[in-house]
Structure 1
Amino acid sequence: MQTINIHEAKTHLSRLIAQAQHGEPFVIAKSGKPLVIVRALPTVQDQAKKRLGFLKGTMQVPDDFDRMGSDAIATMFAGDKA
């Protein structure tokens, strides 16, 4: 992790932030002593990408899933005609 002094961080803040966004965090130091770590926050888009396919291979859906229980549902909507 790169260590930057405060003066240099102020001078090159935009470039340093861009580096942090690309996964390169850095430390800001004063008189050679580390003060803070700067790293990018995860975004909603990053979280959505990580979740994509998280259940892959863990369950199976039957081919007739969209028709399952259709007779019972039709009976409930039609009511008892007796």
Structure 2
Amino acid sequence: SKKEAKEIAEMAKFRNPKLADKKIVLKYTRNVLRCTNSSCKANFWSRDANAARNMLELLSSGLKKKHRARRLRASRRSK
């Protein structure tokens, strides 16, 4: 896209020879979640993609009549 081309052109101004062999991935930090699992192939998730993935998991577990996935359960507060 034009926006990505503009960002790449802007980055070209600050090229560092030490980073020549590194792959640079342009990602916005706003509304992006990073996967902390080192073996995960999808290191970044946008909030929309993450929400869709969570909803799909909830639907799937609901159709299978299973309990909600532990990571998607609301935490209980002790009183």
TM-score over 0.5 (shorter chain): no
- Higher RCO (CA 8 Å, separation ≥ 6 residues): 1
Query: Given the two structures, how large is their TM-score scaled by the length of structure 1?
Result: 0.28
Query: Given the two structures, how large is their TM-score scaled by the length of structure 2?
Result: 0.29
Specify the structure having the higher radius of gyration (Cα): 1
Q: Which has the higher strand share?
A: 1
